[in-house]
Structure 1
């Protein structure tokens, strides 16, 4: 590569804008490679597409991360650029989606005006493409490899059972974490996220004929219903807390007293102390209300990403946007979680929402604004460059 050059922010944005059509082409390839979290073959195929795109853009093949030892689910990818003895900036993303295989048949990748639609386009395949182009053009225009660890996992949508450990390890080694998840409304960055706990509650009853001898049964569904109603009290005193029963099942046949019942519960909380308190109270409430044997599994999965982790990076982002001649989009605290929560928990300065501008995550109307992809890529590239300079002082 040529000797290092001074980066001109306006030239950076101009070059990325010129690359818009190529970005959309690569986005289409990635969206068409469906990648539901629970489908190992599809994940492997999508990973291969992403690896090819990244290798072409970054001039280096990624490290393929180990499979999940629990179930063999494919691991993610890691590009480590720059001097090995330099603390990198961590770029974080995931290529798994919540959409089942076959979604593409009735909801194909389409671009209509400024909007691209298709499964996973906003959460978060456009963010991955933007991140790869950001690093590629940073290399091109400076003539050197930036100190970057570009980490893409394959299981974020199901709680990062394997990828979370790797995210945490790399966050601890990095000077900052920039998370390529989709932006908040209007393109805002995300300076805080709630923490996430989730639980499986199972009740064991006794089956009996619902017509002939229901008195000989113990209705697990009725007991679980009492538990679910009681759990509503956990959020009653704090409007920042949500306790949401999500999936439920019970019984075996229409005319049998249910001998088992099951519910999953999603809990979102604003800070670590509240997360610990709600965890203890949930166990207490279930124990007090249940009349039949029960089991609770699960618990805190992600601590909150609190605003203090993002304060300095927000100022860096504001400065970079000024240099690029772009408007400040604002920032927000949001209820959803990401691997950014894990980065912040590792003690690493973390800013989230640097990915696509769009909306509708996990919904049929999910979309990404393709006209904003160059400016978001330019912001990520300039932040990486500025953070690298700061560390070198």
Structure 2
């Protein structure tokens, strides 16, 4: 099987790819540091051009530039879209505290799992295709963005546009803890609830005031009542602020809300409920701003069919692929929401995303490269 040859190719060159991965990890690239992101984008673009790609660098004044690489453009049919990101949650200087280290079969470092190893998977597969004379079933479009960790605000439009013109989307985010691919993700919403009241002296004339904090307490309970775990709908008031000093009836208070929903209909219902909240306490006013910045990735029939194909492809590699869902969001939420069959969690095995013990299982690199190659060759 050709994809088994890809596994052997990557495995034989594994130390070379680990050295390349170390270089990527040691180039710190937090989501809001345009200078560092753009330098990394340039290095990735050079790498892709060396692999025969037609590379488009998408200028982004609001953050780091994004990259689109097009490969095998003469192949028939709409392309397979491969999606990843090269920004991380880690601030500059993290390497001084958490230096890259290798411990047995694991490589530890900030951003190694989420998700710079996926850049190595792309490079390994494309190099193997060239060396082995393999051609994919359709053209390949590779999109790596610079702002996934902060909501993909500047890349969303391009993600959705590329998804609409693609046969399917393969998302190189990490898999579930047990290695399962992701065929469903919750949608993610962010809302700010603000209460305006009326200040007054708490000792002399409290009756002249209207407490924004008391009203906020009522609203927090209303938000909590919207939770429906059985339906996969969860809301969390994660931050509250209000008041000035203890002897003043507070004139203002606010809350930051995280909302998650399994279906688009569920997300719409939550959004409608939150935006419809009204005040209970006389003399106060409630306003809610925000919305779902990532729609749910639903396990549609098209997604289920794509996974079934992937499972059959995996069998040829000796892999028993399984699927699952997660409450976190990714750019796969966008590709699925526009109707493009999407398969997520195709990155390397490991753990500790966004945590001090972030790591990959080095031995999973050839296996995941072979899986990605098989999907590109056979679907």
Name the TM-score, length of structure 1 as normaliser: 0.87
- Asked if 1:155 is matched to 2:147, the reply is yes
Bigger Cα displacement from structure 2, 364-373 vs 232-241: 232-241
Shift of 1:202: 2.0
Whether 1:79 aligns to 2:69 is: yes
Report 1:252-291 matches (<5 A).
Answer: 252=244, 257-284=249-276, 286-289=277-280
Per the alignment, residue 110 of structure 2 pairs with 119
- Aligned to 2:78, the other structure's residue is in SS state coil
* SS in structure 2 at match of 1:123: helix
Find out whether 1:35 has 2:29 as its counterpart: yes
What's the CA shift for 1:250? 3.2
Match of 2:166 in 1: 174
Residue 195 of structure 1, aligned match among 175, 182, 187: 187
Provide the residue aligned with 1:54 in structure 2.
Answer: 48
| Contact kept? 1:230, 1:289, Cα under 8 Å | no
Instruction: Tell me how far 1:287 sits from its aligned partner.
Output: 1.1
Q: Which among 10, 20, 29 is matched to residue 14 of structure 2?
A: 20
> For the structure 1 residues 213 and 171, does the alpha-carbon distance in structure 2 shift closer, same or farther, using more than 3 Å as the test?
same
How far apart in 1 are the matches of 2:342 and 2:124? 21
Aligned counterpart in structure 2 of residue 136 of structure 1, from 119, 124, 127: 127
1:92 aligns with 2:70: no
Residues 117, 366 of structure 1: 8 Å contact kept? yes
5+ unaligned residues in a row in structure 1: which ranges?
1-6, 388-393
Q: Name the structure 2 match of 1:350.
A: 342
1:36 and 1:288 mapped to 2: Cα distance?
40
Asked if 2 retains the 8 angstrom alpha-carbon contact of 1:186 and 1:358, the reply is no
Number of the residue aligned with 1:64: 57
2:303 paired with 1:313:
no
- How far 1:351 moved relative to its partner? 0.4
Deviations along 1:221-241, one digit per CA (max 9) or x if unpaired, are: 343233122211001474511
**2:369 aligned with 1:384:** no
1:225 to 203, 208, 217: 217
Could you report, residue by residue, the CA deviation over 1:299-339 in whole angstroms, capped at 9, with x for unpaired residues? 12222212124222212222222222x32141111111111
Matched pairs, number: 375
- Equivalent residue of 2:178, what SS? helix
Distance in 1 (CA, whole Å) between partners of 2:243 and 2:38 is: 36
> 1:355 & 1:241 partners in 2: Cα distance?
27
Q: How many angstroms does 1:356 deviate by?
A: 1.7
- Describe the superposition over 1:180-204 as per-residue Cα deviations: whole angstroms up to 9, x where unpaired: 0000112111111112222122223
CA RMSD of aligned residues (A): 2.4
Measured against aligned partners, the alpha-carbon deviations of 1:162-197 in whole angstroms (never above 9, x if no partner) come to: 111100000001111000000011211111111222
Contact 2:182–2:324 at 8 Å: present in 1 too? yes
**Structure (1 or 2) with the greater helix fraction:** 1
Q: Secondary structure at the match of 1:287?
A: coil
Secondary structure at the aligned position of 2:363 is classed as helix
Alignment match, 1:4: none
TM-score (normalizing by structure 2): 0.90
Q: Given that residues 23 and 130 in structure 1 are in contact (C-alpha distance below 8 angstroms), is that contact kept between their aligned partners in structure 2?
A: no
Q: Distance in 2 between matches of 1:104 and 1:217?
A: 51
Which consecutive unaligned segments of at least 5 residues does structure 2 have?
none
Contact 2:98 2:110 in 1 (8 A): yes
Aligned to 2:315: 322
In 2, Cα distance between equivalents of 1:363 and 1:208: 45
- Secondary structure of the equivalent of 1:307? coil
